Structure 1
Amino acid sequence: MKQVNLLTLLLCLLVYNSSFAQKKNNLSVDQARALSKEAFEFGFPAVFIQNQYYVNSYATKAVGFKAPINQFAHSREFVDASNRQYVGNNVDVLASSASIDLSEEPLVITIPEMGDRFWLMQFINTWNEVPAVPSSRTHGGKARTFVVVGPEWEGDVPAEMELLKVNTETTLIVLRLYCSGKSDYKEVNAIQDQINITPLSQWGGNYVAPSYVTLKENFDGNRDVNEIVMSMPAEEFFNSLNKVLLKNPAYDADQSFMEKIAALGIIPGEHFTFDNYTEEVQEAINQGVIDAKQAIGARVKNLGELKNNWILTYDMGRFGTDYNYRAAWTLIGVGGNLLEDAFYPTTIIDEDGEMFDTNKHAYKITFSKEELPPVKSFWSLTMYDIKSYLVPNDLNKYTVGDRSDLQYNEDGSLTIYMQKDRPSEDKVSNWLPAPEGAFRIALRLYTPEEQVIKGNWIPPVVQKIK
Structure 2
Amino acid sequence: MTTRRELLGGIAASVYLTALAPAKLSAASHEPGFFAAKDIAEAGLIFGLPIVMNYGEMYEFVVDKSSSQYKAPFNVLKNEANVFTYKDTAVVTPNSDTPYSLLWMDLRAEPMVISVPAIDRRRYYSIQLCDSSTYNYGYIGTRATGTDAGDYMVVGPDWKGETPPGIRKIFRSGATLSIAIFRTQLFGPADLDNLKQVQTGFGAVPLSTYLKQPSPPAAPTVTFPIFTKELAKKNFFEYLDFMLEFIPAAANESDIRAKLASIGVGPGKTFKFQDLPLEAKIEIGLGMKQGQDKVEAALTKAGTVINGWNVSGLFGDSQHFDGDWLMRAAAAQGGIYGNSPEEAMYPFTRTDSSGKTLDGATNNYTITFAADHLPPVDAFWSITMYDGKTQLLIENPIDRYLINTPMMDTLKRDADGALTLYIQNKSPGAEHEANWLPAPAGPIYLVMRLYWPKQSPPSILPVGKGTWQPPGIAVAA
**Per the shorter chain, which TM-score range?**
0.7 to 0.9
Q: Is the 8 A contact 1:337 1:343 kept in 2?
A: yes
Indicate which of 68, 71, 74 corresponds to 1:66: 71
Q: Cα distance 1:157–1:323, how it changes in 2: closer, same or farther (>3 A)?
A: same
Q: Cα distance 1:273–1:63, how it changes in 2: closer, same or farther (>3 A)?
A: closer
Q: What does 1:244-259 correspond to in 2, within 5 Å? A: 244-259=243-258
Which residue of the partner structure matches residue 4 of structure 2? none
Partner AA of 2:60 in structure 1: V
Residue 135 of structure 2 aligns to a residue in which SS? coil
Which residue of the partner structure matches residue 126 of structure 1? 132
Say whether 1:461 aligns with 2:466.
no
Q: Is the 8 A contact 2:174 2:247 kept in 1?
A: yes
Which residue of the partner structure matches residue 54 of structure 1? 59
Which residue of the partner structure matches residue 17 of structure 1? none
| Comparing 45-54 and 256-265, the one that deviates more | 256-265
Q: What does 1:15-30 correspond to in 2, within 5 Å? A: 24-28=30-34, 30=35
Say whether 1:287 aligns with 2:294.
no
Which residue of the partner structure matches residue 16 of structure 2? none
Q: Cα distance 1:251–1:307, how it changes in 2: closer, same or farther (>3 A)?
A: farther
Q: What does 1:234-383 correspond to in 2, within 5 Å? A: 236-274=235-273, 277-317=276-316, 318-383=320-385
Q: Cα distance 1:285–1:61, how it changes in 2: closer, same or farther (>3 A)?
A: closer
Cα separation, 2, equivalents of 1:275 and 1:392: 46
Q: Cα distance 1:381–1:65, how it changes in 2: closer, same or farther (>3 A)?
A: farther
Output one character per residue of 1:417-443: Cα deviation in whole Å (capped at 9) or x when no partner: 111111111111111111111111011
Q: Cα distance 1:43–1:22, how it changes in 2: closer, same or farther (>3 A)?
A: farther
Residue 285 of structure 2 aligns to a residue in which SS? helix
Q: Is the 8 A contact 1:25 1:278 kept in 2?
A: no
Normalization by structure 2: what TM-score? 0.84
Partner AA of 1:355 in structure 2: T
Say whether 1:198 aligns with 2:189.
no
Partner AA of 1:194 in structure 2: G
Cα separation, 1, equivalents of 2:99 and 2:266: 40
Partner AA of 1:444 in structure 2: R
Please state how far the C-alpha of 1:402 moved relative to its aligned partner.
2.1
Q: Cα distance 1:240–1:110, how it changes in 2: closer, same or farther (>3 A)?
A: same
Output one character per residue of 1:363-401: Cα deviation in whole Å (capped at 9) or x when no partner: 111111232101111110000112311111111100002
Cα separation, 1, equivalents of 2:132 and 2:28: 31
Say whether 1:173 aligns with 2:174.
no
Which residue of the partner structure matches residue 395 of structure 1? 398
Residue 460 of structure 2 aligns to a residue in which SS? helix
Which residue of the partner structure matches residue 21 of structure 2? none
Indicate which of 133, 136, 144 corresponds to 1:138: 144
Residue 136 of structure 2 aligns to a residue in which SS? coil
Please state how far the C-alpha of 1:319 moved relative to its aligned partner.
3.0
Partner AA of 1:27 in structure 2: G
Residue 122 of structure 1 aligns to a residue in which SS? strand
Q: Is the 8 A contact 1:385 1:391 kept in 2?
A: yes
Please state how far the C-alpha of 1:61 moved relative to its aligned partner.
11
Cα separation, 1, equivalents of 2:358 and 2:274: 51
Q: Cα distance 1:136–1:303, how it changes in 2: closer, same or farther (>3 A)?
A: same
Please state how far the C-alpha of 1:151 moved relative to its aligned partner.
0.2
Which residue of the partner structure matches residue 10 of structure 2? none
Cα separation, 1, equivalents of 2:133 and 2:222: 25
Say whether 1:407 aligns with 2:418.
no
Indicate which of 179, 191, 205 corresponds to 1:184: 191
Q: Cα distance 1:80–1:314, how it changes in 2: closer, same or farther (>3 A)?
A: same
Partner AA of 1:453 in structure 2: L
Please state how far the C-alpha of 1:260 moved relative to its aligned partner.
3.4
Say whether 1:112 aligns with 2:123.
no
Please state how far the C-alpha of 1:194 moved relative to its aligned partner.
2.1
Residue 123 of structure 1 aligns to a residue in which SS? strand
Cα separation, 2, equivalents of 1:65 and 1:278: 38
Please state how far the C-alpha of 1:263 moved relative to its aligned partner.
2.9
| Comparing 437-446 and 307-316, the one that deviates more | 307-316
Output one character per residue of 1:261-317: Cα deviation in whole Å (capped at 9) or x when no partner: 433333332111347753122112122223333333343333311121211112422
Q: Cα distance 1:298–1:82, how it changes in 2: closer, same or farther (>3 A)?
A: farther
Q: Identity rate of aligned residues, in percent?
A: 28
Residue 238 of structure 2 aligns to a residue in which SS? helix
Say whether 1:43 aligns with 2:51.
no
| Comparing 440-449 and 292-301, the one that deviates more | 292-301
Cα separation, 1, equivalents of 2:39 and 2:385: 40
Q: Cα distance 1:327–1:204, how it changes in 2: closer, same or farther (>3 A)?
A: same
- Unaligned regions of 5+ residues in structure 1, if any? 1-20, 208-213
Q: Is the 8 A contact 1:53 1:171 kept in 2?
A: no
Cα separation, 2, equivalents of 1:200 and 1:46: 27
Q: Cα distance 1:437–1:76, how it changes in 2: closer, same or farther (>3 A)?
A: same
Q: Cα distance 1:182–1:215, how it changes in 2: closer, same or farther (>3 A)?
A: farther
| Comparing 63-72 and 329-338, the one that deviates more | 63-72
| Comparing 187-196 and 78-87, the one that deviates more | 187-196
Q: Is the 8 A contact 1:95 1:174 kept in 2?
A: yes
Indicate which of 95, 98, 118 corresponds to 1:90: 95
Q: What value does the CA root-mean-square deviation take over the aligned residues?
A: 2.7
Aligned length: 432
Q: Cα distance 1:228–1:106, how it changes in 2: closer, same or farther (>3 A)?
A: farther
Q: Cα distance 1:228–1:408, how it changes in 2: closer, same or farther (>3 A)?
A: farther
Cα separation, 2, equivalents of 1:274 and 1:316: 31
Cα separation, 1, equivalents of 2:326 and 2:30: 24
Indicate which of 92, 100, 105 corresponds to 1:100: 105
Say whether 1:437 aligns with 2:442.
yes
| Comparing 412-421 and 198-207, the one that deviates more | 198-207
Q: Is the 8 A contact 1:56 1:98 kept in 2?
A: no
- Unaligned regions of 5+ residues in structure 2, if any? 1-26, 215-220
